[in-house]
Structure 1
């Protein structure tokens, strides 16, 4: 269920009629850190003669821009996706296995880059095409499409909810090039919490197999 995707929640004085792109830009500019509970539903494309199957997981997401985040999956299986600014760690407790990759090589054209890598939307326009989408369900939507045609991510939709503290990310929807759809929703957001210096550090558990592809 681990996926290279990052969530973020924004704050701070959005205009009353801001569109989704305005909300994203303000989130990037003002949300230094954040914490939220998340639910992720991953739906694979249906095989001939079968209905599509979905898997649901949940946990806690934290971020500290630029470039540090943690997805702590708690149900149905204990897993973790941790970016410490240099290395992206993926940990599977059942397998007692860790995969470590250089962060710069794997996060370039992903939702992680959009929501945690920088404070400046313009810095991402070399890799993505951004556009506002029509409002629906009381949310402001935007779409990011990677310019690279050979990546795994086909498109990213993000929806923001306007609050008295500014835009908060409500939904993140990722469509990959294999037809798989991942939808993440967020609750219990905390804006700009203080994290310890070790919060985004990861040490492989004793005895774990560590793979460095």
Structure 2
């Protein structure tokens, strides 16, 4: 599974059947929003593992994000792939295939959990139901409200106010885990990190 697919399925059933459940969901949303709203920008290294049918694939690289749907996901090993979002457009560059896919960020926020971190946390309730399995732990489960979403649920864990791990179960039975390390929160990130110009000679696909 390549990083493009993992991210776009990775890119976020608590049913409020009783007043107690609805209140619990409201509390989870509030707690998660309080954590996310403090993240204006973030840089980190990542290690990503995708498991399916007893097999697994691992990737590693670096990432950067900034509020306003600005995002960079740079996979270095075992193959090179770059995903860049500048707030309105997302580019996916697969170096091995010499191919670039261009698409609107607005069409991807619901499917790309990492973009959730770089967007407006107050919009979470529009796209997801949220639960907090343990009151004493900053661990949250998000389930998309849309039936067309590419994943079933997303878990996100925080430590010291920083998002340290995301786990996604997609609609075809794959589980993708991402661990973040060397995390820096709210430091200035050069604007060039969120810009992209397709290299000469590559195929550009508009979606």
TM range (shorter): 0.7 to 0.9
1:73 and 2:75 matched: yes
Q: Give ranges in structure 2 of 5+ residues lacking alignment.
A: 12-26
Q: Residue in 1 aligned with 2:190?
A: 196
Name the residue aligned to 1:42. 50
Q: Secondary structure at the match of 2:146?
A: coil
Query: Which contiguous aligned blocks of 4+ residues in structure 1 show a shift greater than 6 angstroms?
Result: none
User: Number of matched residues?
Assistant: 188
**Partner deviation per Cα, 1:38-65 (whole Å, 9 max, x = no partner):** 0000112x2xxxxx11000000010011
Structure 1 runs not aligned, ≥5 long: 7-18, 47-51
The equivalent of 2:168 in structure 1 is 174
Pairwise mapping of residues 1-213 of structure 1 onto structure 2 (< 5 A)?
1-2=2-3, 3-4=7-8, 5-6=10-11, 24-44=32-52, 46=53, 52-120=54-122, 123-134=123-134, 140-161=138-159, 163=160, 167-213=161-207
Q: 1:110 to 1:79 in 2, by over 3 A?
A: closer
Q: SS at 2:138's partner residue? A: strand
Alpha-carbon separation, structure 2, partners of 1:23 and 1:190:
21
8 Å Cα contact 1:83-1:89 kept in structure 2: yes
Structure 1 residue 24: deviation in Å? 2.8
How far is 1:198 from its partner? 2.2
> Which structure has greater helix proportion?
2
Alpha-carbon spacing, 1:109–1:128, altered in 2? closer, same or farther (3 Å): farther
Q: Classify 1:72/1:141 alpha carbon distance in 2 versus 1 (closer, same or farther; 3 Å).
A: same
Q: Structure 1 length as normaliser, TM-score?
A: 0.81
CA distance in 1, matches of 2:98, 2:69: 25
1:152 deviates by 0.8
